[in-house]
Amino acid sequence: MHILHVVGARPNFMKAAPVVAAFKAQGVRQTLVHTGQHYDAAMSDVFFEQLGIPEPDINLAVGSGSHASQTAEIMTRFEPVVLESKPDLVMVYGDVNSTVAATLVCAKLLIRIAHVEAGLRSGDRTMPEEVNRLVTDQLADLLFTPSEDGDINLLREGVDAQKIYRVGNVMIDTLVRLLPVAQRVTRDDGVFDRPYALVTLHRPSNVDDPATLERLLRALRTLSQDVPVVFPVHPRTRKRIEGLTQWQAGPNIRLIDPVGYIEFLALQTHAKLVVTDSGGIQEETTYLGVPCLTVRRNTERPVTATIGTNVLVGDDFDRMLAEARRILKGQGRNGSIPPLWDGQAAARIADIVLATQVEIEAQLTGSGN
């Protein structure tokens, strides 16, 4: 069997790493394609190294662009790769443009598609990621969901129940494997010496509008009067912050450069609370038991708010401050870890894929008799 994996952005790396390892343990032939959708050597290469992902066999080097141009360019460059390599199955991850572009190519070439992290829905089609999820899940042959809400969403949308497999969260596989390493991380800047709030921001809804971004940053400066704020700044966000003339960080907000996966995991484990607009961080903080405040009006990961430690505060930054102060007083939300978030999701995926391949080959043999 030959499996081709498609990754395009850093969130995909954490999801693909344990799956690639699980198939390697089974002796399966694999090809790794990096579309280059989000490629920055300083931010991508370190992730590959830390996660133990082999160097991509192919890098399409697509680069940035509008959603339409980027998706079209990925399709154009990916199609010849598929035609030449002839995989039995293409595995796509998450909800980036690379995910839907590869899926469209394979669907038209009649090549089987597996979607890891299927069924997640925010209900907000103004988010490009939501459109990518919807299209990918309608075309995929195997849909691997991280939680029960994913199953429910897919069934409601008319997906055949026989295609749906709840396997757990592959991002947690990576976290479980590397958490002992992260717990040994030290810093020489004193960050770990006292409680702090960890912040990440990159969503267009938060950083692209100067008025919204300035309100959010002012709220963080107010929060920094109660607890130090550590803010690894995404390059996109830093550019927007530098465009503001009326905001100064203040002495208790530490803006730092982006860090690798292990270093960021260490920052999460030591944090008193996390303020974010990232989907994956909602999941990681839930597993770690760290209170999380998500500055979004919705989430495609509702299990983090119903079971986990996540609280959606939307764009109500006064509420964000109030919730943060509750956490600092020891009155934050007590969460638990969702079912199947146990570090074994990738092994389940490998077992299911290999079992379905045996069934397909048996059917082909039977039809040939």
Point out the residues that are catalytic: 202
Q: Is 368 exposed, middle or buried (0-12, 13-18, 19+ CB in 10 A)?
A: exposed
The CATH number that domain 179-328 falls under is 3.40.50.2000
Buried/exposed 130-148: b ≥16 CB within 10 Å, e otherwise: bebbebbbeebbbbbbbbe
Answer for the pair 50, 74: CB distance below 8 angstroms, yes or no. no
Overall pTM > 0.85: yes
Q: What are phi and psi of 5, to 5 degrees?
A: -100, 140
What region, left, alpha or beta, does residue 119 occupy, with left being phi > 0 and alpha being psi -120 to 50 degrees? left
Entry field: residues in the chain: 369
Beta strand extents in the chain (DSSP E only): 2-7, 29-34, 58-59, 89-93, 112-116, 142-145, 164-166, 197-200, 229-232, 253-256, 273-276, 292-294, 310-312
pLDDT digit of tens for each residue in the chain (369 aa)?
Answer: 999 999 998 889 999 999 999 999 999 999 999 998 775 655 566 777 888 888 899 999 998 888 999 999 999 999 999 999 999 999 999 999 999 999 999 999 999 999 999 999 999 999 999 999 999 999 999 999 999 999 999 999 999 999 999 999 999 999 999 999 999 999 998 999 999 999 999 888 899 999 999 999 999 999 999 999 999 998 888 889 888 877 888 889 999 998 989 999 999 999 999 999 999 999 999 999 999 999 999 999 999 999 999 999 999 999 999 999 999 999 988 899 999 999 999 999 999 999 999 999 888 887 665
What CA–CA distance (Å, rounded) separates 83 from 208?
A: 39
List pLDDT tens digits, range 140-180. Answer: 999 999 999 999 999 999 999 999 999 999 999 999 999 99
Looking at residue 40, its pLDDT comes to: 60
Q: Output the pLDDT for position 367.
A: 67
DSSP 135-197: HHHHH-SEEEESSHHHHHHHHHTT--GGGEEE---HHHHHHHHHHHHHTT---SSSGGGS--E
- pLDDT of 199 reads 97
179-328 and 2-168+341-368 share a CATH fold: yes
Domain layout of the chain by residue ranges? 2-168+341-368, 179-328
Rounded to 5°, the CA angle 51-120-44 comes to: 25
Amino acid at 216: L
What DSSP element (H or E) covers 357?
Answer: helix 345-368
Dihedral pair phi/psi, residue 152, rounded to 5°? -60, -45
Of residues 117, 157, 56, the one with CA closest to residue 349: 117
Is residue 273 within 8 A of residue 304, CB to CB? The reply is no
Task: Give dist(CA 302, CA 279) in Å, integer.
Answer: 10
Taking the domain 2-168+341-368, which CATH number applies? 3.40.50.2000
Q: Which whole-number Å values give the CA distances from 358 to 141, 351, 354, 355, in the listed order?
A: 15, 11, 6, 5
Tokens of 3: 């499996």
